[in-house]
């Protein structure tokens, strides 16, 4: 069975004020602790008595963070070789998340030599005022030069992340980002709403300059329409790609396929269970050094629970879910399990059913949270 391998790199040079992902300051000593822990966790996961990874073939590798673009060619090659030594590992896609700062052509070229096939650049905006509001440590021109350098050294799968609903955002500032991206011709764009900042430093910025929800939706529609004209089709609520350039690794999450996560705060989903690791470098590394488990929580999945989660994740995709395929995998008929919910949502025009397939209409994807909550 094919599966995805995710590795969490928990270091940043500086924490962005809106970021809720686990990260700590970058130090050489911390990186050594992380690498030693990674080796131990991979060894435990591949053991016959491990979590079941021994029967899987990993065909995607995704290194996220944090800021994994702090790693160079030698370090990335070592990680790839570790995965090849421990698992059945033949990646057709190797994604590295990158910040568009501090990476000269030699560093970027080294990522290609290390086997990275897909570069995912967290630009967030090509508008300088928006970048300053977000606390990003680079200009729009620097971000553009970084992406162009990636193209020049041979990355033919370039993904760009942008953020929508930023305080002070205007149709003009969004248009500036879209105009720059049009010239860059990325193969994949993720357009995320700025959200989940409660308890983070950015919450104060948002409180002082609230974002109008209708204006944020207008920005999303401006982005969606421009990307559609540029040949990037929406395939998931927040993700757009040229044909054949959809992120194969992330599709595993939405299709509820197996994936193994290594590193602090990483999550995993293997048949019949899912778990998340301890969200502390010290605690995660200490547990592994002592021969214990680095898991913070494990959930054993009944067939009904697996079917429920697969339905919720799958409905994020524009093409939706094939209930017959889901029944084959889980033994559960979601049309029976959620008969009332599906009938009500289809009657209200919030779901479409055609044969065994279910999907959320394109004009309702932005209210998907309310729709999906009916199945939780």
CB 368 within 8 A of CB 360: yes
| Residue tagged 């905006």 (tokens) | 125
- Residue ranges of the chain assigned to CATH 1.10.10.920: 303-375
Beta strands in 118-247 (DSSP E): 118-124, 158-164, 188-193, 233-236, 239-241
Q: So what's the pLDDT on residue 327?
A: 95
> Can you tell me the distance from the alpha carbon of 271 to that of 306, in angstroms, rounded to the nearest whole number?
9
In whole angstroms, how far apart are CA 335 and each of 157, 174, 226, 254?
38, 41, 36, 19
pLDDT in tens, 11-61: 999 999 999 899 999 999 999 999 999 999 999 998 866 666 767 999 999
265 φ, ψ (degrees, to nearest 5): 75, 0
> Can you tell me the distance from the alpha carbon of 7 to that of 295, in angstroms, rounded to the nearest whole number?
15
> Can you tell me the distance from the alpha carbon of 300 to that of 271, in angstroms, rounded to the nearest whole number?
9
Q: Do β-strands 239-241 and 259-262 pair in parallel, antiparallel, or remain unpaired?
A: unpaired
Instruction: Judge: domain 303-375, CATH 3.30.2290.10.
Output: no
347 φ, ψ (degrees, to nearest 5): -65, -35
pLDDT in tens, 158-211: 999 999 999 999 999 999 999 999 999 999 999 999 998 899 999 999 989 999
- CATH T-level topology, domain 2-252: TIM Barrel (3.20.20)
pLDDT in tens, 115-144: 999 999 999 999 999 999 999 999 999 999
Q: So what's the pLDDT on residue 49?
A: 61
Burial class (CB in 10 A: 0-12, 13-18, 19+), 31: middle
Burial class (CB in 10 A: 0-12, 13-18, 19+), 360: buried
| Mean predicted lDDT score pLDDT of the chain | 94
pTM (2 d.p.): 0.96
């Amino acid at each position: 069975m094919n599966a995805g391998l995710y590795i969490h790199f928990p270091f940043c040079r500086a924490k962005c004020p809106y970021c809720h992902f686990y990260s700590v300051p970058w130090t050489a000593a911390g990186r050594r602790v992380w690498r030693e822990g990674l080796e131990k966790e991979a060894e435990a996961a591949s053991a016959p008595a491990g979590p079941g990874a021994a029967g899987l073939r990993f065909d995607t590798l995704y290194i996220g963070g944090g800021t994994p673009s702090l790693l160079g060619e030698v370090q990335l090659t070592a990680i790839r070789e570790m995965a090849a030594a421990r698992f059945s590992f033949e990646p057709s896609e190797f994604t590295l998340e990158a910040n568009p700062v501090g990476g000269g052509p030699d560093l970027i070229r080294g990522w290609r030599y290390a086997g990275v096939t897909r570069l995912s650049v967290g630009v967030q905006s090509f508008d300088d005022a928006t970048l300053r509001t977000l606390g990003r440590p680079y200009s729009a021109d620097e971000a553009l030069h970084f992406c162009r350098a990636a193209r020049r050294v041979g990355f033919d799968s370039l993904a760009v992340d942008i953020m929508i609903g930023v305080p002070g955002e205007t149709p003009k500032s969004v248009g500036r980002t879209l105009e720059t991206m049009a010239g860059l011709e990325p193969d994949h764009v993720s357009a995320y709403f700025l959200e989940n900042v409660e308890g983070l430093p950015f919450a104060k910025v948002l409180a002082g300059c609230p974002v109008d929800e209708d204006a944020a939706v207008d920005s999303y529609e401006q982005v969606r329409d421009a990307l559609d004209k540029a040949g990037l089709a929406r395939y998931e609520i927040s993700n757009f790609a040229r044909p054949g350039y959809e992120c194969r690794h992330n599709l595993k999450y939405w299709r509820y396929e197996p994936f193994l996560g290594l590193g602090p705060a990483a999550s995993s989903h293997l048949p019949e269970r899912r778990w998340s690791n301890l969200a502390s470098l010290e605690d995660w590394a200490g547990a592994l050094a002592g021969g214990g488990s680095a898991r913070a929580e494990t959930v054993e999945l009944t067939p009904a629970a697996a079917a429920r989660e697969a339905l919720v994740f799958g409905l994020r995709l524009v093409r939706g879910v094939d209930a017959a395929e889901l029944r084959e995998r889980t033994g559960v008929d979601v049309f029976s399990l959620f008969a009332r919910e599906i009938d009500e949502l289809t009657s209200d025009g919030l779901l479409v059913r055609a044969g065994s397939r279910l999907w959320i209409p394109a004009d309702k994807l932005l209210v998907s949270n309310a729709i999906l909550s009916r199945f939780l």
